[in-house]
Structure 1
């Protein structure tokens, strides 16, 4: 019993995350438009042309309207995240439709999804290697537990082609994905057994020419608050 308690404290929401992984994996494997990237160690899928050129144009305008210096859990004291970001209005009909399309693709209850964020990167801006999941040993965990618990899947859409740089780099599996307008990337931040997957370490590499826009929707183990 002591072992079970310590395991639960170390890997919260493990049962829910394992089940969610199974559900989304089956859904994406059966989706004709979803392509599982051939890499060992993480579950990552790509959907080409998930976003139309009009979707991208409209979302870029919404990102520009809410963009502010990107926050981090350590107040960015290491300068690791230099982009601009913002939550778009979840009540906006266009945003609601886009969120629902992503939810339906993954087969995830919309209640588990965080508000869609948009990010903008100018020349020289980046998001250094990091994890999307949370570490319960850190001070922020108590609040994140109340807000929906551990993160499960990440859905990230490229909103424009970038003239130089700006790739998403998963260095532990030697996978680098350049930005292409309309592509949606989806990856599981957990291992199949529901524990955090350290191989999902990733970065938004520095933009060297032009501007990069992306949207992101993260999913939790419990309803997002």
Structure 2
């Protein structure tokens, strides 16, 4: 069974401060192997120890009114606006085309599942097996330890909450990467110039990425460093480059949703609506790899042209 070591303490502190609900954090810990009572004790201790909420059941948003109340009280600020986003996230029509098959530039992509809250779509056949293999072989010898953005400074740091190796490709770096960029932009129905470069990640046995948000928390100073280059992130597409025999799912603890890694498939999720609100239900993570390894390719889209 896992233990609450320094890395988990950092994860607890960061996610409590970001406004994640107790229920979602407990659920995320249980999915990684903690006993439910041990996870609850650690999360409740974190909220008290770090002063995120006052002690006592009545002070906890979860205890006072469940997850929906917690989301209303602790959702992140809207981009460019100070303070806390007090109104519930408004779900509007996303940009991805309707239908069970979507023509994405040069390829037909199948829709396996759509979820409305949060806005999540699971796809099959985004990349062919041959394309997946080519991405892996191109990337294998260029991997470096993955980083995260420090919310206070905007600098990229290595932490134990993210146990992966990765590389970045420049957008349109060569003909092969340009074709993938065009296909992904078409599938996400968002301008190709608004996309960050493709990121390739490799997770070995036990590798994981604990639950987090992909958007930059607007109330944290370090986010300004990144939003200056194209605005806030609006949506993510994670493409699975290989089959994972056990574990490695993309989990959404707030939604009770888990997407298994299947070669060529992908999961899309959108977290900024037309009002520029940010959706706290898109808290997500990469579950530990329990057998084999995992290769993924990620595309993040911005509000404006990413430079």
Please tell me the TM-score bracket, short chain as reference.
0.7 to 0.9
Shift of 1:94: 0.7
Aligned with residue 10 of structure 1, among 81, 88, 106: 81
Displacement of 1:161: 0.3
Contact persistence 2:79–2:277 (CA under 8 A): no
* Aligned-residue offset at 1:61: 1.3
Paired residues of 1:158 and 1:180 also in contact (CA < 8 A) = yes
Q: Calculate the TM-score normalised by the size of structure 2.
A: 0.63
Distance in 2 (CA, whole Å) between partners of 1:40 and 1:168 is: 17
Greater relative contact order, per chain length (Cα 8 Å cut-off, separation 6+): 1
Partner of 2:211: 129
Structure 1 unmatched ranges of 5 or more = 1-5, 12-20
8 A Cα contact 1:56 1:182, kept in partner: yes
Counterparts of 1:60 and 1:203 in 2: how far apart (Å)? Answer: 21
1:205 equivalent to 2:287? Answer: yes
Q: In the alignment, is the contact (CA less than 8 A) between 2:236 and 2:270 conserved in 1?
A: yes
**Paired residues for 1:115-126 under 5 Å:** 115-126=197-208
- What is the aligned partner in structure 2 of residue 103 from structure 1? 185
Secondary structure of 1:54's partner? Answer: helix
**Equivalent residue, structure 2, for 1:65:** 141
| Bigger CA radius of gyration | 2
Change (3 A) 1:166 1:7: closer
Match of 1:24 among 86, 90, 95: 95
Alpha carbons 1:157, 1:182 under 8 Å: kept: yes
Q: How many residue pairs were aligned?
A: 209
Structure 2 distance, partners of 1:73, 1:8, is 17
**TM-score of the aligned structures, taking structure 1 as reference length:** 0.85
SS at match of 2:226: helix
- Pick from 140, 155, 160 the counterpart of residue 222 of structure 2: 140
Deviation at 1:39, TM superposition (A): 3.6
Query: How far is the alpha carbon of 1:88 from its aligned partner?
Result: 2.2
Structure 2 counterpart of 1:53? 129
CA, structure 1 residues 172+191, in 2 after alignment: closer, same or farther (shift >3 Å)? farther
State the Cα RMSD in Å.
Answer: 2.2
